[in-house]
Structure 1
Amino acid sequence: MPTNLRIASINTNGVRAAYRKGMGDWLAGRDVDILAIQEVRASTEDLESLLGPEWSILHDPATAKGRAGVALASRSTATIHRVELGADDFDSAGRWLEADYEVGGKIVTVVSTYVHSGEVETPKQVEKYHFLDAMLERMPALAAHNPLAVVVGDLNVGHRKLDIKNWRGNVKRAGFLPEERAYFDRIVGAEDDPAYNAGAGLGWVDVGRKWAGEADGPYTWWSWRGQAFDNDTGWRIDYQLATPELAASVTNYAVDRAAAYDERWSDHTPVVVDYAL
């Protein structure tokens, strides 16, 4: 019998604030096996206090206190974890955390990552490209390390027009720049697919797009401002990117959108995927 593995990913925009607004209630009713968190913005002790003793927690805080931060919380203890990404002089702290978990006699590698938001023609955009370059270098090695691997989190890029409601108004903004989207062409393009970079793709699978098909969204982030949430004027920037072998085991994909604006506990929403191993 296959073993079900439920992986959820959420940018909490500050985990303490998210818990004050209802994240704990969501988590208590979702039967999650591995929870990937981005923008933790808290200490490891805070995470342990909020989640409770039933969770095994890995946390990589950002260099600057109160910024970024990524975590992995699981029902079982990771066999090994790694946080290094890119060159030795590149600061990836609080943005890349990978761990191996034993599930049903198999090892699954899960990465919680938080890509820079960027800002056109500023050092923030340069840092974003450095990070995306490092991801492109790491992901083939990750797949070689383990054919059952998934990179999840807030990747801060809408890959296609389907991923942003108002894409025409954002083609010159960070998050939907052609240069950024080209990275995703490379990540999800197959080696033998001429539609992506002349067949130079890495072959990872965008689980959300594969599940939703050629349809708008489903979006995972909405501005707090105006009527963006009520009108579903959102962006799909939270992903689960799986190796082909792991992607083939997906049995369900869900975006846990709040029922109403005042029930939101983050500007993002959880992305929850079931894998049958």
Structure 2
Amino acid sequence: MLRIATANINGIRATQRRGFGDWLDTRGCDVVALQEVRAQADKLPDNAFGSYHVALETGTISGRNGVAVLTREAPAAVRTWSGGALLGGPHAAPDDLRDVPAVDRVPLARKLRPFIAQGRYIEVDLADAPLTVACLYLPKGGLPAEMQRPERMREAPDGGAHYERKMGFLAGFGRYLTATRRAAAADGREFLLMGDMNIAHTCRDLANWRRNRKHDGFLPEERDWFDRQLSPRTLVDVVRSLHPDEDGPYSWWSWAGQSFAKDVGWRIDYHLATPRLAETAVADAVDRDFRGVRLSDHSPVVVDYASG
């Protein structure tokens, strides 16, 4: 069995203070995908990734983004959009991480090129299972210009710039995802994409969907894009396949108010697996807190696969 988790930790230093290291040591995961590490190598805490091997893409924006995949065995291969990654062994200190080339094997779509240095994507081939694991932090986005109402917005209107950025990313990533999934298949590997997708796919994926029909993250065009990525022959939403008729389970809640206590959340953290792998999923859990403490505004989504 493989126990695999994805977690947007919203800063490795903050989540360590809340108990992430103990969660990592005791949860028994074989693979963990992390988003929003939010630290350059020299700013990582000691023993940030515990007893795991780490493949890390920090990006170049200080204190922002950053993705990693943690594995029990050193990965057989690592690929990023920037062409490089940091690798470290168990209990590695920041100075122990080494730069390695991590050249992608499929062409990068033109619309993804502005994101090359942002630390949003990394993928690894497991050494101990025929599986490629990809980790994604998809841009949050915003509203199109015609939908922006200053009196209803927490941030100043941007003329739709963040919306256009996200839609460009989606257009490029859809093509890229197909290409890298097919490349994994050609190598005899199943494929698993995990991460913070910043999209609630269906009405079952957020608590107050009627109120959010004109909210970024639940716009019709975002949800349509998500529809196109899934099919019984390409990729399967694993957690939804295990809970076809249930609301949630949610994985993100605002820090404000009683959202977490009342479970008024969004499901935006996903396992998207090739069908053969998805069929082996036998159990899942959202670790809402750890010993009574929230590790982040997101919670880890953990799935047990009978085989990889």
TM-score of the superposition, structure 1-length normalised? 0.88
Partner residue, 1:215: 246
What does 1:113-152 align with in structure 2 at a 5 Å threshold? 113-121=136-144, 122-147=160-185, 148-152=190-194
- The letter of the residue matching 2:49 is L
Report the CA distance between 1:62 and its aligned residue.
2.5
* Structure 1 residue aligned with 2:122: 97
Equivalent AA in structure 1 for residue 15 of structure 2: A
Q: Structure 1 112/275 Cα, relative in aligned 2: closer, same or farther at 3 Å? A: same
Note the alpha carbon deviations across 1:38-59, whole angstroms, 9 max, x for none.
Answer: 000012351663223x321111
User: What root-mean-square deviation, in Å, do the aligned CA atoms of Structure 1 and Structure 2 show?
Assistant: 1.7
Q: Report how many residues are paired.
A: 259
Is the contact between residue 59 and residue 66 of structure 2 (CA under 8 Å) also seen in structure 1? yes
Name which of 57, 69, 73 aligns with 2:70: 73
- Decide whether the 8 Å contact of 1:38 with 1:71 is kept in 2: yes
Letter paired with 1:158: A
Separation in 1, partners of 2:127, 2:61: 33
CA contact (8 A) 1:48 1:57 kept: no
Alpha-carbon displacement from aligned partner over 1:91-113 (angstroms, at most 9, x marks no partner): 2431111111122xx42100110
Please state whether the residue corresponding to 1:246 is helix, strand or coil: helix
Q: Secondary structure at the match of 1:182?
A: helix
CA contact (8 A) 2:23 2:290 kept: no
Instruction: Give the partner amino acid of 1:188.
Output: L
User: Paired residue for 1:200?
Assistant: none
What's the counterpart of residue 110 of structure 1? 133
- Structure 1 residues without counterparts, runs of 5 or longer: 192-202
Please list every run of at least 4 consecutive aligned residues from structure 1 whose deviation after the TM superposition is greater than 3 angstroms.
none
Indicate conservation of the 8 Å contact 1:41/1:65, yes or no. Answer: yes
SS of equivalent residue, structure 1 residue 35: strand
Unaligned runs of 5+ residues in structure 2 are: 82-107, 145-159
* Equivalent runs, 1:213-252 vs 2, <5 Å: 213-252=244-283
C-alpha separation in 2, matches of 1:213 and 1:44: 41
The 1:169/1:69 distance shift into structure 2, 3 A limit, reads: same
Q: How many angstroms apart in 2 are the aligned matches of 1:80 and 1:59?
A: 13
Considering only CA atoms, is the larger Rg found in Structure 1 or Structure 2? 2
Rounded Cα–Cα distance in structure 2 between residues aligned with 1:95 and 1:139? 14
User: Could you say which residue in structure 2 is the equivalent of 1:64?
Assistant: 61
Cα distance in structure 2, aligned partners of 1:131 and 1:65:
21
How do 1:168-187 residues align onto structure 2 when only pairs under 5 Å count?
A: 168-187=210-229
Give the Å deviation of 1:259: 6.9
Structure 2 counterpart of 1:49: 47
- Matches of 1:151 and 1:16, distance apart in 2: 25
Q: How far apart are 1:36 and its partner, in Å? A: 0.6
- Kindly provide the amino acid, as one letter, of the partner of residue 230 in structure 2: V
- Give 1:190 shift: 4.3
TM-score by length of 2: 0.80
Paired amino acid for 1:150: L
Which of 289, 293, 303 is the aligned partner of 1:263?
293
Question: How far, CA to CA, are the matches of 1:233 and 1:101 in structure 2?
Answer: 36
In structure 2, the residue matched to 1:34 is 31
> Are 1:44 and 1:59, in contact at CA under 8 Å, matched by a contact in 2?
no
Following superposition, the deviation at residue 232 of structure 1 comes to: 0.5
- Counterpart CA distance in 2 for 1:251 and 1:48 is 35
Deviations 1:63-120 (A, max 9, x none): 31111111111111111111125327332431111111122xx421001100011111
Matching residue of 1:164: 206
1:143 shift after superposition: 2.3
Give the counterpart letter for 1:172 in structure 2. Answer: K
Match in the other structure for 2:99: none
Question: Equivalents in 1 of 2:243, 2:57: separation in Å?
Answer: 32
Aligned-partner residue type, residue 288 of structure 2: R
CA–CA distance in structure 2, aligned partners of residues 49 and 259 of structure 1:
19
